[in-house]
């Protein structure tokens, strides 16, 4: 077991937002990450211009938030620091048509996810710095944490350092969006993209929702009420994970009953067993060898048939309707409503 971390971790004292005083940052995109970065940078005193399509649904939101909005190409031409926060699947096109023609030597080209660089969808020119500042959080929480004077952990990677100032500039950016309040871990584009794709597929998004739905279906199919199944398998998960977030699995184990602890420790590995680990290793291999990224690019080129069908089926799962009706009935609905409103607001920007 290692008693020393091998990575460098940076905090607010390691960064200086004034590094960006003479720079204009173009934030391309105003969705989950884009709105959070643009607003946090702006509130940190950085000169920001948002780049959006003429017909973008996000324009009105960005302008209502007091930000300067123009087209992506014009934003890049005005900027010395370009933060690419459009969907991964359109970045190569946006780069070719709006970024590359307007990028100048000495500029920074920055990403929040390494996919397009690591899988060679974008080949940046020599003469620019290429960096990544990747919050380890959904975008609307990056904004909420900043507004609450809290931080969001992030990753930082330097792919190309032409100016010799790439890290100083990226750290200033990370501080300005609130990541250095929590901690910024230095990594590489490869490590970020492969770990992020794995985490969202096998644990955070894919794995956990599959577990929740199977648990819900097992109870409902055995005759238990949907309300009970929802509270047991979805709602309480937040409360459990909050404890894990605060103090590791042991904080959760120390808080639940001995009965839950014994049942969980003896049955957990029967539910998520060695076969699940084999599946995880298979999913990771598909990420590492580029199979997933090729599949995702082809899916988009075909107009997202599978994505749309799967998303529709997810929306139609009984747990969505049961959960929406229950959240309306309970005291915390105001908070949830706020979260759902935040999500709806950001989703409208998509
Ligand atoms: N979502 C998250 O929490 C996280 C995302 N990331 C990364 O951040 C990046 C952005 O993702 P995310 O914030 O989820 O993106 P969203 O889908 O939430 O937002 C996309 C934004 O880009 C705009 N956009 C879409 N297509 C184009 C286009 N062709 N040209 C110009 N603008 C366009 C949209 O506006 P409109 O369609 O109206 O033009 C919207 O404002 C990705 O690299 C992602 O991997 C990293 C960490 C977490
Ligand atoms: C967990 C999904 C994520 O990687 C994220 C919010 O970090 C994403 O791509 O949205
Ligand atoms: Mg992620
Ligand atoms: Mg991701």
CA–centroid distance, 193 to ligand 4, in Å, is 8
Q: Bridge-partner residues for 135, per DSSP? A: 154
Are 335 and 16 in contact by the 8 Å Cβ rule? The answer is: no
- Ligand 1 pocket mutation pick from 31, 40, 347 by most atoms within 8 angstroms of CB: 31
For the range 334-339, what are the long-range contacts, defined as Cβ-Cβ under 8 Å and sequence gap of 24 or more? Answer: 339/140
Helix axes 333-349, 318-329, angle to 10 degrees: 130
Q: What is the pLDDT of residues 232-272, one digit of tens each?
A: 999 999 999 999 999 999 999 999 999 999 999 999 999 99
Global pTM? 0.93
Supply the residues annotated as catalytic. Answer: 113
Q: What is the mean pLDDT of residues 38-47?
A: 98
Q: Residue 350: pLDDT band by 50, 70, 90 thresholds?
A: very low
- Give one DSSP letter per residue of 30-87, joined into a string: -SHHHHHHHHHHHHTT-EEEEE--TT-TTHHHHHHTT-EEE-HHHHHHH-SEEEE-S-
Q: Are 252 and 268 in contact (CB under 8 A)?
A: no
pLDDT bucket at 7, cuts 50 / 70 / 90: confident
CATH topology of domain 9-187: Rossmann fold (3.40.50)
Cα 65 to middle of ligand 4, angstroms: 26
DSSP for 333-345, written as a single string: HHHHHHHHHHHHH
C-beta atoms surrounding 313 within 10 Å? 9
Per-residue pLDDT tens digits for 166-223: 999 999 999 999 999 999 999 999 999 999 999 999 999 999 999 999 999 999 999 9
Distance 152 CA to ligand 3 centre (A): 12
Q: 81-84 and 108-111: which strand pairing?
A: parallel
Angle subtended by helix axes 318-329 and 206-221, to nearest 10: 90
Q: Where are the domains of the chain?
A: 9-187, 199-345
Q: Which residues contact 294 (CB under 8 A, 6 or more apart)?
A: none
pLDDT higher than threshold 90 for residue 94: yes
State if residue 324 touches ligand 2 by the CB under 6 angstroms criterion: no
Whether residue 99 is predicted with pLDDT greater than 80 in this model: the reply is yes
Gap between the Cα atoms of 163 and 148, Å rounded:
34
Q: Ligand 3 centroid vs 54 CA: distance in angstroms? A: 29
Is residue 205 lining ligand 2, measured as CB closer than 6 Å?
Answer: yes
200 belongs to an annotated ligand binding site = yes
Identify which ligand lies nearest to the alpha carbon of 140: 1
pLDDT in tens, 298-336: 999 999 999 999 999 999 999 999 999 999 998 665 554
What's the average model confidence in pLDDT over 79-84? 98
> Tell me, what's the pLDDT at 5?
81
C-alpha separations of 14 from 8, 39, 124, 173, 184 in Å: 11, 22, 28, 12, 10
Q: Whose CA is nearest to atom 19 of ligand 1?
A: 31
Q: Which ligand sits closest to the CA of 203?
A: 2
Q: Which ligand is nearest to the CA of 345?
A: 1
Mean pLDDT, the chain, whole residue set = 94
Does residue 260 have its Cβ closer than 6 Å to ligand 2? no
Mean pLDDT score, 42-71: 97
Q: Which long-range contacts (CB under 8 A, 24 or more apart) does 263-267 make?
A: none
Residue nearest to atom 1 of ligand 2 (CA): 200
Min mean pLDDT across 2-11, 67-76, 242-251 is at 2-11
């Amino acid at each position: 077991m290692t008693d020393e971390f091998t990575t460098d971790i940076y905090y607010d004292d390691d960064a200086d937002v004034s590094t960006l005083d003479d720079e204009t940052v173009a934030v391309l995109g105003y969705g989950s990450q884009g709105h959070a970065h643009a607003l946090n940078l702006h509130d940190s005193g950085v000169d920001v211009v948002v780049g959006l399509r003429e017909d973008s649904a996000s324009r009105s939101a960005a302008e209502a938030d007091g930000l300067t909005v123009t087209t992506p190409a014009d934003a890049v031409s005005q900027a010395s620091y370009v933060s690419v926060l459009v969907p991964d699947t359109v970045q190569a096109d946006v780069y070719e048509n709006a970024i590359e023609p307007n990028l100048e030597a000495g500029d920074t080209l920055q990403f929040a996810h390494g996919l397009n660089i690591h899988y060679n969808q974008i080949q940046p020119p020599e003469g620019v710095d290429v960096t990544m500042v990747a919050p380890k959080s959904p975008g609307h929480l990056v904004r909420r944490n900043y507004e609450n004077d809290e931080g969001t952990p992030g990753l930082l990677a330097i792919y190309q350092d032409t100016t010799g100032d790439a890290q100083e500039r990226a750290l200033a950016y990370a501080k300005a969006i609130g990541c250095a309040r929590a901690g910024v871990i230095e990594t590489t584009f490869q490590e970020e993209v492969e770990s992020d794709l794995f985490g969202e597929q096998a644990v955070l998004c894919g794995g956990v929702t599959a577990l929740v739905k199977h648990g819900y279906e097992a109870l409902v199919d055995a005759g238990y009420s949907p309300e009970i199944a929802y509270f047991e398998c979805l709602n309480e998960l937040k409360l459990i994970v909050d404890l894990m977030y605060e103090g590791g699995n042991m904080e959760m184990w120390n808080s639940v009953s001995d009965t839950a602890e014994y049942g969980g420790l003896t049955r957990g590995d029967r539910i998520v067993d060695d076969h699940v680990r084999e599946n995880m290793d298979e999913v990771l291999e598909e990420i590492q060898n580029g199979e997933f990224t090729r599949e995702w690019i082809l899916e988009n080129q075909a107009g997202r048939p599978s994505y749309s069908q799967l998303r529709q089926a997810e929306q139609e799962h009984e747990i969505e309707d049961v959960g929406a009706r229950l959240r309306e009935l309970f005291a915390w609905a105001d908070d949830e409503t706020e979260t759902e409103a935040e999500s709806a607001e950001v989703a409208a920007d998509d």
